[in-house]
Chains A and B, each alone.
Chain A
Amino acid sequence: MLQQAFNGLVGGAFYALLALGLSVIFGMLGVVNFAHGAFYMLGAFTSYVLLDSYGVNFWAALVVVPVALGVVGIVLERLFIRRLTPLDPLYNFLFTFGLTLILQDLVKREYGVQSQPYPRPSALSGTLDLGLFTYPAYQVFVLGVSVLVCLLVWFVLVRTRVGMVVRAATERPELTRALGIDVGRWVTPVFGFGIALAGLAGVLAAPMRAVNPLMGADLIIVVFAVVVIGGLGSLFGSVAAGFTIGLVSALGNYYVPALSQTLVFILMAAVLLWRPAGLFGREEAL
């Protein structure tokens, strides 16, 4: 039981990382980034290609891949997203959706639809004794990284000047601008950062999940449910909802396996009925 709960948290770690990135982007730019799943997939694929063709190991990939994808995100924002933001939100929605299809198909064309092999880093291939139960070391590591990143983001947002500006710009962009702060300057790095988080989740997923062009498309639907439950644009909400959904689906699988697939969406529907802005939506986003 305890083990199952822990297990849910590990699953939730991925949701949290992805939902955090989505939320940061939505909060700052007002863009629902449909391509988030594709960047998660690219994160995993890039680590596979780096290892397979250039011998770059997992640890290096953990740093290199998010940074590289972050840069891609920055370029993307400069070239495309920026131009579409003043228009109807639908344009960016369609743009990122189209981008997803292009990225998926490019990867498919190059590597096919089969999953690619990616070994676990040898330092983390054992199991850890956690006192009450033993658990695969790699999964503990994933959970650790995810929690650390979430804490770091929280720290930056709450304790630093940069964070203050970003928070202000997220919640009251007009007012922030009126106070003489150049909101536009922060939009690009924040978008890049959100994409980098998706890439990081992808790298973490490579050793324990199937690395194929569709891995992001399968996951992103649940992540959208997570973001909606947490409250669109609410950073704390997405992280909390991410871990909660992880727990719920693990326990759902355990007690009612036949229902588990729909459980997340039942929860989403319930939350929407009860609090249309999501669990934590009101405080930060609206």
Chain B
Amino acid sequence: MKRIGQAAAVAVTGAVLAACGGGPGGGGGKISDDKVVLAVLNDQSAIYADLSGKASIESVKMAVADYKAKYGDKAAAKEIEVVTADHQNKPDVANSKAQELYDRQRADIILDVPNSAAALAVANVAKSKKKVFMNIGAATTALEGASCNKYTFHYGYNTYMLAQGTGDAVTKDGGKNWYLVYPDYAFGQDMQKSFTSAITKAGGKIVKADPTPFPNDNFSTFLLKAPGLSPKPQVLGAMQAGGDLVNLVKQYNEYKLKDKGIDLAVGLMFITDIHSLGSDALAGTKFSEAWFWNANPENRAWADKFQAKTNKRPSFAHAANYSAATQYLEALQRGGTDNADEIVKNLEGQKVNDVFAKNGTIRAQDHLLLHDAYLAEVKPASEVKEPWDYEKILKTIPADQAFQPANPACKF
């Protein structure tokens, strides 16, 4: 009898809870804590601070302002807050900050997170907390491959896109033989694989691929070795990033490898790198670009608004943060709730055409944003008309070619 009594009590409690709306986490057209919180977690003090950093918070705030202006009284999210944290490029810090943002600051979404290791850590947190994570800053394809999950989106670029544009285009332009130098850690090894496959697919050949120390300030050994390889490489493919890339390019110019018939192709180049080196040091170098602020009047108009707030020109990451935050808010508007499962459902398969993403689709199978990418070239200083006007867009790589087909290893 006692048992039956207990069972009945449980059943009654369950019924009461169900009548009350299913307890916490239940869906049903509501905004949790009556407030939507967007969190920007990124590097605000070290290597990626200029690429995205604090200015990305402004981008997200711009997205919020535009959303409010667009929907006015009809906005599903009445109160929107933007919070932020610095992950210092450390995966462990990223992990604990992400937990803090989701739990204590009640973040509904985390944006940005450059640095692949940090991004993978945050993707794990998002998965266990069942909260949305839209990654912009990290390049690793693992986010939509073996490490993918239902709540994680990859928005902007990846190593496949970088290799596709640069590796394919330069090889087809006649740079058949490549000498690859890549920094010896996860990102560099990933880049080396992506480039090798893009180059061989385009009919080119890897003469040699050398790992280099990381970080490294002296690349002269590799640069001196290049002309002596057999067959002689026509292209030096540099997979370095940030300060290492600057070192390498300075020394590439010192050794005058260009005069010796070895062109430079850079795997990962951001507009901030061109600024560091001065555009003459890189003039003529081709590279993959996700977005350039001065490519068309629409981008420029947005860049002007951005500059008014931050006093600098936006990188692709700033524009992508704006776009991702906008897409999140639009999905929230469509579903009328900030419930993560609803948001995910509303984002999957979504077509995106905004200032950042052209012909964009958020692929449902792996949550990767496919969009048009570009092959860009660095202008010589004589053609640079105004500060930060360093790039010339050579061609558009259509969205379906710029990114990889969905990886079967990704299952939600």
Contact pick for A4, options B221, B246, B255, B256, CB 8 Å: B221
- Residue in chain A with minimal CB distance to B245: A210
**Bound-state Cα–Cα, A31 to B402, Å:** 56
Q: A280 CA to B278 CA in the complex, in Å?
A: 44
Q: Shortest beta-carbon distance, B33 to chain A, in Å?
A: 35
| A213 → B minimal CB distance (Å) | 9
Does A279 make an interface contact (CB < 8 A)? no
Which listed segment binds B: A16-24, A110-118, A144-152, A155-163? A110-118
- Asked if A209 and B277 sit within 8 Å, CB to CB, the answer is no
* Shortest Cβ gap from B371 to chain A (Å): 26
Q: Identify A253's interface contact among B212, B215, B281, CB under 8 A.
A: B212
Stretch at the interface among B45-53, B191-199, B327-335: B45-53
Cβ B276 vs Cβ A114 within 8 A: yes
A138 interface residue (CB < 8 Å to B): yes
Is A258 a contact of B243 with CB atoms below 8 Å?
Answer: no
* Residues A117 and B221 in contact, CB atoms below 8 Å apart: no
- In the complex, what's the smallest C-beta–C-beta distance from B372 to chain A, in angstroms? 27
Q: Closest B-chain residue to A254, C-beta based? A: B221
Q: How far is the CA of A208 from the CA of B218 in the complex (A)?
A: 9
In this complex, what residue of B is CB-closest to A252?
B221
Known A-B contacts A119-B278, A208-B251, A209-B250; A114 and B272 likewise in contact (beta carbons under 8 Å): yes
Task: List residues 168-218 of chain B with CB under 8 A from any CB of chain A.
Answer: 184, 210-215, 217-218
With both beta carbons as reference points, the residue of chain B lying nearest to A206 in the complex is identified as: B250
Is A3 in contact with chain B by the CB < 8 A criterion?
Answer: yes
Query: Chain B residues with Cβ under 8 A from A96's Cβ?
Result: none
Q: Please report the C-alpha to C-alpha distance between residue A4 and residue B277 in the assembled complex, in whole angstroms.
A: 26
Asked whether A113 lies within 8 Å of B49 as measured between CB atoms, the reply is yes
Q: Which chain A residues in 103-154 approach chain B with CB under 8 Å?
A: 105, 108, 112-117, 119-120, 127, 136, 138-139
Against A, the Cβ 8 Å flags (1 = close, 0 = not) of B222-261 are 1011000000000000000011101100110011100000
- Residue of B213, B215, B273 contacting most chain A CB atoms (<10 Å): B213
| Residue pair B224, A3 in contact (C-beta under 8 Å) | yes
Chain A residue at minimum C-beta to C-beta distance from B278:
A117
Is A10 part of the contact surface with B, judged by Cβ < 8 Å? yes
A249 within 8 A of B: yes
**With A115-B277, A210-B247 as contacts: A261 and B256 at CB distance below 8 Å:** no
B220 sits at the interface (CB 8 A): yes
Docked Cα-Cα span, A118 to B221, in Å, equals 22
Q: Assuming the A-B contacts A113-B49, A208-B250, A210-B246, are A250 and B221 also in contact, with contact meaning beta carbons closer than 8 angstroms in the complex? A: yes
B243 lies within 8 A of A214 (CB): yes
Q: At the interface, yes or no: B129 with Cβ under 8 Å from chain A?
A: no
A7 touches B45 (CB 8 A): no
Complex CA distance for A253 and B47, rounded to whole angstroms: 25
Q: Verify if B275 is at the interface (C-beta below 8 Å from A).
A: yes
Whether A7 contacts B211 by the Cβ 8 Å rule is no
Whether the Cβ atoms of B221 and A209 lie closer than 8 Å is: no
Residues of A within 8 A of B47 (CB): 113, 214
Contact B45 A113 (CB under 8 A): yes
Of the four ranges (under 10, 10 to 19, 20 to 34, 35 or more), the interface on chain B belongs to 35 or more
Q: Which residues of B contact A205 (CB under 8 A)?
A: 217
Q: Are B246 and A115 in contact (CB under 8 A)?
A: yes
**Residue of B with least CB distance to A219:** B217
Residue of A nearest to B219 (CB): A253
Given contacts A11-B220, A116-B276, A208-B250, contact A257 B50 (CB under 8 A): no
* CB atoms of B217 and A210 under 8 A apart: yes
Q: How far is the CA of A260 from the CA of B211 in the complex (A)?
A: 9
Q: How large is the interface on A (under 10, 10 to 19, 20 to 34, 35 or more residues)?
A: 35 or more
Q: How far is the CB of A1 from chain B (nearest CB, A)?
A: 10
A255-270 vs B, CB cutoff 8 Å, 1 = contact: the mask equals 0011011000000000
Asked if A215 is at the interface of the complex by the 8 Å CB criterion, the answer is: yes
How many Å from the CB of A219 to the closest CB on chain B?
Answer: 6
C-alpha spacing A117/B282, complex, angstroms: 12
Contact partner of A261 (CB less than 8 A), chosen from B49, B213, B221, is B213
Could you give, for residues 209-241 of chain A, a 1 whenever the CB lies within 8 Å of some chain B CB and a 0 otherwise?
110101100110000000000000000000000
CA A114 to CA B272, docked complex, whole Å: 7
Any B CB within 8 A of the CB of A30: no
CB distance from B313 to the nearest CB of A (A): 13
* CA gap between A22 and B345 in the complex, in Å: 61
Q: In the complex, what distance in Å separates the CA atom of A4 from the CA atom of B222?
A: 9
Q: Which residues of A contact B276 (CB under 8 A)?
A: 114-117, 210, 212
The reply to whether the CB of A189 lies closer than 8 angstroms to some CB of chain B is no
Among B213, B225, B281, the residue within 8 A (CB) of A260 is B213
25 example contacts (A-B, Cβ-Cβ < 8 A) are as follows A4-B224, A4-B225, A11-B220, A105-B45, A112-B49, A113-B45, A113-B49, A114-B273, A117-B275, A119-B278, A120-B254, A127-B256, A136-B254, A138-B254, A139-B254, A208-B250, A209-B246, A210-B244, A250-B221, A253-B221, A253-B222, A254-B221, A254-B225, A258-B211, A260-B213
Across the A-B interface, give the 8 residue pairs with the lowest CB-CB distance, nearest first.
Answer: A253-B221, A210-B246, A115-B276, A261-B213, A117-B278, A115-B246, A210-B243, A136-B254
**B contact residues vs A (CB 8 Å cutoff):** 45-47, 49-50, 184, 210-215, 217-218, 220-222, 224-225, 242-244, 246-247, 250-251, 254-256, 272-273, 275-278, 281
Given contacts A113-B49, A210-B217, 15 further A-B contacts (CB under 8 A): A7-B221, A11-B218, A105-B45, A113-B50, A115-B243, A116-B276, A209-B217, A210-B247, A212-B243, A214-B47, A218-B217, A250-B218, A253-B212, A257-B222, A261-B214
